[in-house]
Amino acid sequence: MSLAAGAEPALVNDLDLAVWTRGETYRGNHLVDGWSVPAGSPDRLNNLEYARISAPGTTAVVTVTAANLPGDGIPYNADLTVAM
């Protein structure tokens, strides 16, 4: 997890993983007994996410969405991300 001064929890960039296959959407870290289950809410506490699908289809669409991206990813750089 990335650390931000005074943050609780100390999450800097919140990226959300989603995998669509066989007509179902699986969200990152939404697991039961170690396997991904359809639906669920995006994980807002971890910036490391994964999906483990027991019976994926022949096609999968993987998306990563930025739910909150306040930092530019350069350590010790005080500049915030600037939209161009």
The pLDDT tens digits for 6-63 are 656 666 678 899 999 999 999 999 999 999 999 889 998 887 899 999 999 999 999 9
Per the model's pLDDT, the better-predicted residue between 68 and 76 turns out to be 68
Q: One-letter amino acid identity for 77?
A: N
Judge whether 20 lies within some domain: yes
Judge whether 60 lies within some domain: yes
Range(s) of the domain holding residue 57? 14-68
Q: Count structural domains, the chain.
A: 1
Judge whether 50 lies within some domain: yes
Nearest 5 degrees, angle CA 16-CA 21-CA 24? Answer: 75
Nearest 5 degrees, angle CA 61-CA 65-CA 66? Answer: 165
Q: Collect all residues with Cβ–Cβ distance below 8 Å to 26 and sequence separation of at least 6.
A: 18, 19, 20, 36, 37, 38, 40, 51, 53
pLDDT value for 81: 55
pLDDT value for 9: 62
Judge whether 1 lies within some domain: no
Q: Is the pLDDT of residue 1 over 50?
A: no
Judge whether 46 lies within some domain: yes
Q: What are phi and psi of 21, to 5 degrees?
A: -155, 145
